[in-house]
Structure 1
Amino acid sequence: METETVVEENEDNGGALPVIDKTMETETAVEENEDFGISLPILHRTKGPLKSCYVTADLCLRLIHEAMRKKQWEKASGLLSSYFQTLESRHTTRQQMAPEIIWRLGSEILLNHPKCTRGDINVFHEAMKNIGLRNYLGVSLEQVYHSLCNGDYDEAYRVLSLAESWRCGRLAVRQKPNQRLVQGYRAALNYRSWVNRRASSSRADGQSQLSGAQAVGSHYRQATVTFQEIIKLPGLWDPFVLSYVDLLESSGEREEAEKVLKAYASNPKNPPNPNAHVFHYEFKKRNTASDEELKKVLAPLYSMTPSHTLMVNYSYLLSTSSSAEDVKMALKVLFDLLDFSGWKNNLKAWSFLAKEIKKALHNDHKDWVLEYWEPRSSWWSPYHFTKLHAKRDWKENVDLALKKALVAGMLLGLSCPYLLSVCKSGKDEERRPLRNIIKTVQKNNCAKKF
């Protein structure tokens, strides 16, 4: 049984600390809070009575949450100052969790506080690194992020250098993932310095050009060594991979760049990542690869993300192949693409589908079309081909309405509601292309007996 808790908030000090008259007999958990993208650690319930100071701290934390939800940033700042007393708690779990709670809440409050300056944020981060060694690298990375957002690259590099050399026994071992990120961002800054130095050295003369070239080489070596180590580790390293590939390509090492992209896309230890295949495709495209090579790169992307924008390119590459299997696959890719709502009004996709269906029917491959159409026939009609769709498409994009009318006609026949509605829409001159569409549908459609 819990005894009643009476709380009186002191308005004179900005609601800095509540007054607790009675204590509770059970622990109050510090809930995970996801407001503003914040996720706080959970303080699990324990048996036995709570001390008055703990009840006060928990209530103070709830008042901070409330002030943040109401965007009362100055009040939240005052309350957080009072919550700092938790750092002196004799309760081990509370004392360990307090630095992270203060760091996460404090960062959000400072970012929104009307009187906060960049200097205040830096001072806060430095303080958090000193009182919360468990979060040292996490705080450092956040500090770097804010510096980069404000264009202060020298400060970001300084923080990264200190973070990279930081060691604190077992605490450092536990922060290995963050150590990798620190190394990665430092390599990214070296890459940025390499880009800037290379641009400036190309405009310099004589001795300046020589010293500039030496600086370029130094940044290149530092960045490439770190990038090599980072991308060997399992993870998503998209920005670092792109920077590394640019370093290699710009230095004429295209084969090495492609090896990096292949390894990144094919590493089974990495999480599934469509971007890895996109990067490889864009590299091949830049270097005028053959259609066969491009198809091989896009095939795993199709398996992973059939709604990707590059699937239109993939379908086109397949349709131009001399292989009947590839041409059939082009049709499947387009049907799969238009299953997704984001493609419902895409003129290019419908144009390609109309072309591929017409080609398949003309070449006596009606079985291909039926193979992909029959599983969809029960839901594509209400999904794509209603009278309402026809009126809206005609109003917004006549070309789209005409292409969809052709597809609908070839799949459902001349009695298709979409085609009939389009035939009745607009002026006579706008409907002239429909004559050819009707002729095509009469010759080639899946509604006729096979």
Structure 2
Amino acid sequence: MDDIDRELESLQDSDDNSDICAKGQKKPRLSLGNPMPSETSRETGFHRSTRVCLEHIREAMLHHRWQEAAEYMAFYPQMLEDLDEGSTPKYKEIIWRLSTEILHHHPNSTLEDYNNIYERMKHAGVKHYLMISLEHVFHLLLHGHIEDAKLQFSACGSWRYGNNVAQYQATKLIQAYRSLLDYVTWCDKKRTHSYTVDQDDSVSREMSNYFRHASANLKEIVKYPGVWDPFILSYVEMLEFYEDYDTALKVLNDYAYDNSFPPNPNAHVYLYQYLKRRDASRKRLAKVLKILHALVPSHELMLEYSSLLLQSEKKTDVQKALGIVLDMLDFACWRNNLDAWKRLKAVIQQLQCTEENWKTLVLDTMSGRKDWWPALHFTSFHASKDSVNPELMEVKASLKKVLCPDTLLKYTAEGGTSKEWTLGGKRKH
């Protein structure tokens, strides 16, 4: 709808130029809601009719009158006959966006209607050819027309126009999704192969062919900086199936550590999950999660990171684990998570067993939090909410005086006397 609004505003602005008074001053513009643009002497009848038509389309769409919008839309494409070459590309994109949106919501739209619109808009100009084709493919895949989608991809592969950056990037994107479609077909063949009692060599050969087609493009695509998450996962899955573990690890390492790629927490998640499947060492797993912690300290894998640190023989790693869990609990999404609070208690207990000055270490780590942590975790409101989970309340209550020793906290059981739990789990009256 923003495209329609911008188009109407530009047309309205051209109308307002005719309202300039003889003294060179514009008439004051009063807010009159959303009136229909009026006819001006500078506007031809052709432009006036298409402008009013666009206004009616917008109103119909805003009120979900899709049949009415479709009827008006049948006339608006005459804007493509405008001889003003500067505005024609803008009209093409508006017609493309409006048409597909109306068909998406219209109760009687058919696949043939979509195909007609997409084909007409693809051949109305070359600027958006690849992106319209890709959207067309998505629609075909959504409705299960796999073979038709493959034909569209083949047409895109042979299409060439210009040598600008935008077209080059669109071509790479088309190649990536073509490879993803090969991967989907490979998965279907793999599933058929696994359910076959007598292993069919022809199915294995088909799988190998689809793997080669997919990997050839994916190998090149993942060299270009970008966020390629679904393509990386597909490529790695196929490589693992064929036991090419070295290549899979290289792909994931490059994706995670290549500085030319944008920072992407998922890249480190995928590398960690792969290494975990391959039974990598604790030290190597912790190294990957260390970077993930720097990017997303609230990530759910931080529980595993803190667990890996607790398994270390280094005392400093236990202190790091304390900071990791506290960083998680800085975020409201972990506020009522029992696992996070139990992990925090386990870390402090381990510090208590290994460090004489454990209280000082805890307070030093909490130094930047003492002003706002009580309000985040230890109010009477939190006590009321946590009372539905007695185990959570018990763990938090045992930690409140350790974490905030100099603060009067109202985190107590509803209507009860002042009861606290020590780190050992015994109640202190």
TM range (shorter): 0.7 to 0.9
Q: Pick one of 135, 142, 146 that aligns with 2:135.
A: 142
Q: Which residue of the partner structure matches residue 89 of structure 2?
A: 96
Output aligned runs, 1:70-81, within 5 Å. Answer: 70-81=63-74
Which deviations, in whole Å up to 9, do the C-alpha atoms of 1:291-328 show, x marking residues without a partner? 11110111111000101111111111112211122111
Q: What is the root-mean-square deviation of aligned Cα atoms in Å? A: 2.7
Shift in CA distance, 438/292, structure 1 to aligned 2, threshold 3 Å: closer
Shift in CA distance, 174/390, structure 1 to aligned 2, threshold 3 Å: closer
Bigger mean CA deviation after superposition, 404-413 or 157-166:
404-413
| Contact 1:408/1:418, CA 8 A, preserved across alignment | no
Q: Check if 1:189 corresponds to 2:181.
A: yes
Q: Check if 1:133 corresponds to 2:134.
A: no
Q: Pick one of 391, 401, 408 that aligns with 1:409.
A: 401
Q: Which residue of the partner structure matches residue 171 of structure 2?
A: 179
Deviation at 1:276, TM superposition (A): 0.5
Q: Pick one of 400, 424, 446 that aligns with 2:392.
A: 400
| Contact 1:409/1:441, CA 8 A, preserved across alignment | no
Q: Pick one of 326, 329, 336 that aligns with 1:335.
A: 326
Q: Pick one of 235, 243, 246 that aligns with 1:255.
A: 246
Q: Which residue of the partner structure matches residue 351 of structure 2?
A: 360
Shift in CA distance, 423/290, structure 1 to aligned 2, threshold 3 Å: farther
| Contact 1:343/1:349, CA 8 A, preserved across alignment | yes
Mapped partners of 2:234, 2:280: distance in 1? 21
Mapped partners of 1:322, 1:62: distance in 2? 71
Q: Which residue of the partner structure matches residue 234 of structure 1?
A: 225
Identity of aligned residues (%): 36
| Contact 1:334/1:349, CA 8 A, preserved across alignment | yes
Deviation at 1:201, TM superposition (A): 4.4
Shift in CA distance, 306/108, structure 1 to aligned 2, threshold 3 Å: same
Q: Which residue of the partner structure matches residue 213 of structure 2?
A: 222
Mapped partners of 1:385, 1:285: distance in 2? 36
Output aligned runs, 1:13-24, within 5 Å. Answer: 24=15
| Contact 1:408/1:416, CA 8 A, preserved across alignment | no
Q: Which consecutive unaligned segments of at least 5 residues does structure 2 have?
A: 1-10, 19-40
Matching residue's letter, 1:192: V
Mapped partners of 2:60, 2:195: distance in 1? 55
Q: Pick one of 273, 289, 292 that aligns with 1:301.
A: 292
Q: Which residue of the partner structure matches residue 3 of structure 1?
A: none
Q: Which residue of the partner structure matches residue 115 of structure 1?
A: 108
Deviation at 1:98, TM superposition (A): 1.2
Shift in CA distance, 176/435, structure 1 to aligned 2, threshold 3 Å: closer
Mapped partners of 1:410, 1:25: distance in 2? 69
| Contact 1:334/1:353, CA 8 A, preserved across alignment | yes
Mapped partners of 2:79, 2:94: distance in 1? 10
> Counterpart of 1:169 in 2: which secondary structure?
coil
Structure 2 length-normalised TM:
0.84
Deviation at 1:423, TM superposition (A): 7.7
Matching residue's letter, 1:125: Y
Deviation at 1:85, TM superposition (A): 1.1
Shift in CA distance, 388/161, structure 1 to aligned 2, threshold 3 Å: same
Aligned length: 392
Shift in CA distance, 267/439, structure 1 to aligned 2, threshold 3 Å: closer
Matching residue's letter, 1:181: L
Q: Check if 1:163 corresponds to 2:156.
A: yes
Q: Which consecutive unaligned segments of at least 5 residues does structure 1 have?
A: 1-19, 28-47, 443-450
Which deviations, in whole Å up to 9, do the C-alpha atoms of 1:101-147 show, x marking residues without a partner? 11111111100001111221122111111113211111111111112
Which deviations, in whole Å up to 9, do the C-alpha atoms of 1:313-362 show, x marking residues without a partner? 11111122111221111000111111111111111001111222233245
| Contact 1:274/1:304, CA 8 A, preserved across alignment | yes
| Contact 1:147/1:155, CA 8 A, preserved across alignment | yes
Deviation at 1:418, TM superposition (A): 4.0
